[in-house]
Structure 1
C-alpha cells in the first residue's frame, strides 16, 4: 500500500478544472517529483492533499485513511507536513520560536517542543541563528527555516513547494544535501521544483502535470526522454 494515494482527484474553480482526474501514489521512503509548466495545477494539488482545498471529485488517502477535505492541522497531526512557495515565517519571532511553534503540533509540551526544535535547527544548519528575529534572515536561510518548521512536526510525508527557488549555487547545494539527509531519516518526500537538473538527480519517480492533467509518470530518465513532456515543459524550460 502506498503511503500517499491520490485517486482521480479533480479541483474546479468556477467550472474551470485546475486539477483534472489526477491519480498517483507515493511509496514510503521515496522522493517523488511533481513538475509541469506554470499554471499546471501543482500547487493546487498540494493544497488539496494537505487540506486547504477539498477535492471537487476523487479522494486523497494517507496510510489508507481518506483525508480528503480534512482540516490542514488534522492532516499535519497525522504526519503530513508541507512548505510554501512564498516563505512566511512568524517575522517578529526568533528562528527558534518559529520552529517551537510548529513543534507544538505534535509535542506534548514546551520542553519537548524546544528539544525537537533545537534538534531540527542543528540538522538544517540554523542552530547558530536560533536567536535571530526571522524577518532579518536572508532568503536562503528563510527557505531553510521553512523546511525546519515542517520537520518540527515530525512528518512521515514532507511536501516541498519550490524550496530551491531563488537560491544561489552554494545554497542550492546545501539544500540538496538536506533533502538527501531527510530521505536517509526515512521521511518520504513529494516535491514541486522547477530546477530540472535538481529534480532529475534527487527523484526516484516523477509525475508530470500539464493544464491540470497528468501527462506522464516514471523514472527521471524516462521522463527526460518523453516526447509529450519535452513538448509541454522541458523544451520550454531547458536546463532551468
Structure 2
C-alpha cells in the first residue's frame, strides 16, 4: 500500500482549473520531487493534500485512509506535516518556543515538548539560535526553523515547499544534508523545488506538473531527458 495516493484530483477556482485530474502515489521512505513552471499548480496540490483546500473532484488517501475534506490539524495528527513557501514563524517567540509549540501535537506535557523541541533544534543545526527571537533570523535560518517546526510534529510524511529558495551556496548544501538525514530517519518526503540540480540529486522519483496537469513521472534521468518537460521549462 502506498503511503500517499493522489487519485484523480482536480481543483477549480471559478472557471480556472488549478489542478486537473492529477494522480500519483508516494511510497514509504522515498523522496518525491514535484516540479513545474511557476503557476503550474504545485502549491495548490500541497494545499489539497494537507487540507487547506478540499478537492473539487478526486480523493487523497494517506496510509489507506481518505483524508480529503479533513482539517489541516487533523491531517497533521495522522502524521503528515508541511512547510510553506513563505516562511511565517511566530515572530515574537524564540526559536525554541516556536518548535515547542509544534511539539505539543504529540507531547503529553511541557517537559516532553521541550525534549522533542531541543532534539529537533539540534538536528536542524539551530541550537546556537534557540533563544533568538525568530523575527531576527536571516532567511536561511528561518527556512531551517520552518523545517524544525514541521519535524517537531513527528511526521511520517513531510511536504517541503521551496525550502531551498533564496539560500546561498553554503546554506543550500546544509539544507541538502538535513533532507538526506530526514530520509535516513525513515521519514518520507515530497518536495517542491525550482533548483534543478538540487531536485535531481535528492529525488528518487519526480512528478512534473504543467497548467495543473501531470505531464511526466519517473526517475530523475528520465525526467531530465523528457521532451515534454524540456518544453515546459525551456520552450521548444
**TM superposition score category, shorter chain reference:** over 0.9
Aligned partner of 2:48 in structure 1 is 48
Aligned partner of 2:111 in structure 1 is 111
Tell whether 2:176 aligns with 1:176: yes
Q: SS state of the match for residue 105, structure 2?
A: helix
Mapped partners of 1:126, 1:235: distance in 2: 41
Tell whether 2:204 aligns with 1:200: no
Aligned partner of 2:63 in structure 1 is 63
Mapped partners of 2:26, 2:20: distance in 1: 19
Q: SS state of the match for residue 96, structure 1?
A: helix
In angstroms, what is the RMSD of aligned CA positions? 0.9
Alpha-carbon deviation of 1:69?
Answer: 1.4
Aligned partner of 1:89 in structure 2 is 89
Alpha-carbon deviation of 1:234?
Answer: 5.0
Aligned partner of 1:31 in structure 2 is 31
1:6–1:113 CA distance, 2 compared to 1 (3 A):
same
Mapped partners of 1:187, 1:221: distance in 2: 24
Write the deviation string for residues 103-126 of structure 1: whole angstroms up to 9, x where unpaired. Answer: 111211111111000000000000
Alpha-carbon deviation of 1:235?
Answer: 5.5
Alpha-carbon deviation of 1:133?
Answer: 0.3
Aligned partner of 1:140 in structure 2 is 140
Q: SS state of the match for residue 106, structure 1?
A: coil
Alpha-carbon deviation of 1:197?
Answer: 0.4
Alpha-carbon deviation of 1:199?
Answer: 0.1
Alpha-carbon deviation of 1:16?
Answer: 1.0
Tell whether 2:159 aligns with 1:159: yes
Mapped partners of 1:167, 1:39: distance in 2: 21
1:122–1:235 CA distance, 2 compared to 1 (3 A):
farther
Mapped partners of 1:133, 1:234: distance in 2: 42
Aligned partner of 1:99 in structure 2 is 99
Aligned partner of 1:218 in structure 2 is 218
- In the alignment, structure 1 segments of 5+ residues that lack a partner are none
Aligned partner of 2:6 in structure 1 is 6
Mapped partners of 1:235, 1:75: distance in 2: 38
Mapped partners of 1:63, 1:201: distance in 2: 27
Runs of 4+ aligned structure 1 residues displaced above 6 Å come to none
- In the alignment, structure 2 segments of 5+ residues that lack a partner are none
Aligned partner of 2:76 in structure 1 is 76
TM-score of the two chains, using structure 2 as the length reference: 0.99
State the number of aligned residues: 236
